[in-house]
Structure 1
């Protein structure tokens, strides 16, 4: 399976996507979609009511749909960012600490958003220059998993309108990789959609 920026997911990447319960979301991106059907559904979406207007009536996306179609967990702890939020400079420090990615000038936008291209490039370079093997230290595996999951959060689960930046606020959920499976990802994704 080809992934972000030409980087191929390793078994450690897949282990963490399975732990979080987001593997099906990634796999759904590999499925051939009926573009005509998608376009018809887009035309029938009414943002003011959050429903599709169909001949048979109105339909909307429900929590059960998110759980069944994407396999996202709907039970568990809620995802929320507590107030007050850390100062913007700490996001840069957290990015470097958790992923090893040191942002260059111009790659951070608006203090808390990182260029998706820069993150994917960093991941691709790591995969080429330092592939994960059985002898790779766990800290390096975790660092790569943090980076991979940050890209998934910003591109698949919680994409922004531009599609070219990832909010570094998601780093708050990546501190402890063992806790990722405890969150209600399906609820968060559905809430983000609306």
Structure 2
């Protein structure tokens, strides 16, 4: 299912060590007006082709602009993940990684198909929020991506690479502001 969803290659990225000095140096050279890095040798940028080649994400599919249907978060949790966070963990904008890990780290050997599908959605949500589009705090994934995982067979019909690149550009532009402390986005792609 992960290979069919086109997230299979991202699961191969197990551990990576980020070089924050390198990332900081790149951020300092980012020009928000042109979305390029200004280096001594000229200008360069990260392209959709980089994302397709390095992460294996689709780049020429349907664009992800917004979620068409408004869901009640508790219903969304139960329908797509099979359970809902408790009051202490509930957040109407995102799922905490600690909750995803606690509820989906171990799949029973006698799991039924619905449990497997819920675990796959949870794993993809973790990939989205932890690797591809993490926020600066890197502690949760935005809930807006969950409805896109409703039908696991149509996940590959979205241009995930485009949204990863757009999020990285947005985070780089935000990080150039004087008040920014940390940066988000796909830093492993930025580093490579």
Which of 62, 72, 86 aligns to 2:70? It is: 86
Matched, 1:67 2:49: no
Q: CA deviation at 1:35?
A: 5.8
Matched, 1:159 2:143: no
The CA deviation string for residues 167-187 of structure 1, in whole angstroms up to 9 with x for no partner, is 111111111001111111111
Bigger Cα displacement from structure 2, 38-47 vs 66-75: 38-47
The total of aligned residue pairs comes to 169
Matched, 1:106 2:82: no
CA contact (8 A) 1:26 1:156 kept: no
Superposition RMSD on alpha carbons, in Å?
Answer: 2.3
Q: Cα–Cα, structure 1 residues 45 and 73, in superposed 2: closer, same or farther, change >3 Å?
A: same
Aligned to 2:157: 182
The CA deviation string for residues 130-159 of structure 1, in whole angstroms up to 9 with x for no partner, is 43x3x5321111111111112222222221
Cα distance between partner residues in 1 of 2:33 and 2:141: 26
Aligned to 2:99: 118
Matched, 1:56 2:41: yes
Higher helix share: 1
Aligned to 1:147: 122
Q: TM-score, normalised by structure 2?
A: 0.76
Cα distance between partner residues in 1 of 2:26 and 2:118: 39
Cα distance between partner residues in 1 of 2:27 and 2:8: 25
Q: CA deviation at 1:160?
A: 1.7
Q: Cα–Cα, structure 1 residues 33 and 115, in superposed 2: closer, same or farther, change >3 Å?
A: closer
Q: TM-score, normalised by structure 1?
A: 0.75
